[in-house]
Amino acid sequence: MKTILEVKDLCKTYIVNKRQNNVLRDLSFTVSEGEMIGVMGPSGSGKSTLLYTVSGMDRMTAGEVSFCGKKMNGLSENELAELRLDEMGFIFQQMYMMKNLSVLDNIILPAVKSKRNSLSRKEIVERGRGLMKKLGITQIADNDINEVSGGQLQRACICRSMINEPAMIFADEPTGALNRSSSNEVMDELERLNSEGTTIMLVTHDVKVAARCSRVIFIVDGNIKGEYNNKREDTLRQRERDLNNWLLEMGW
């Protein structure tokens, strides 16, 4: 299976009040095409820092990260920005949207800004509406972002993350601000996208969310303490139970 993301000996260090804070320490792992990988760990363990660093949103201190065969270490800020825009999709806990744009215009914005995109404005809009139809939110296309529910807005964020047909989606606590019903709806959509071939890496503290992933990485104090493969043939409830037991063994 093709490797999408390869991480070798990754380190991330911050200097706070002249003291070194080693947030990530020599992390190595790979993500294959079509995987849905969850990242879990206690608060402050480095989960979000890991996601931001491997996606090029934050610079690594040491180590190597290759994305679709491209070594990210040597890329300029502009090259990293283009890579994120054209080949990556992002979903965050806080649903960052432009307040002066409609939901549909927010969704298509990355495609409009992409230099690689050769589609006309009409074709981009059609793609955006197609994604909204797929996620069942066509009725809110012309709404302002403050006129829709949290679950609808997060599904719009998923549409936005898919507009440039990325090789991989990075999601940081994508259900963290949602109630259980909306969380389930969002995860249903992410799981469906993954079943269609989209590679996903998501950070979560929620066992119910992580149980939907094919693999879970557990990190503590910036180190990978263990990896767990979910048994996809089991029921979701059984996967939740087994994963929870494993996490307890890891010191969750």
Its pTM stands at 0.93
For residue 41, the model assigns a pLDDT of 95
CA 123/CA 104 separation, integer angstroms = 13
Domain ranges of the chain: 3-250
Residues 223-238, mean pLDDT to the nearest whole number: 92
Nearest by Cα to 44 from 15, 23, 16 = 23
Q: Could you give the CA distance from residue 57 to residue 53 in angstroms, rounded to a whole number?
A: 6
User: Mean pLDDT across the chain, nearest whole number?
Assistant: 93
The first and second tokens of residue 25, run together, are: 């320490």
Of the candidates 202, 220, 225, the one whose C-alpha atom is nearest the C-alpha of residue 212 is 202
Whether 72 has a pLDDT exceeding 90, the answer reads yes
Q: Which fold has domain 3-250?
A: Rossmann fold (3.40.50)
173-190 residue pLDDT tens: 998 888 888 888 889 989
Cβ neighbourhood burial of 1 (10 Å; 0-12, 13-18, 19+): exposed
Annotate 42-68 with three-state secondary structure.
CCCCCHHHHHHHHCCCCCCCEEEEEEC
The answer to whether 38 and 217 are in contact (CB under 8 A) is yes
pLDDT at residue 15, as a whole number: 83
- Summarised one tens digit per residue, pLDDT across range 82-134 is 999 999 999 988 878 999 999 999 999 999 999 888 899 999 999 999 999 99
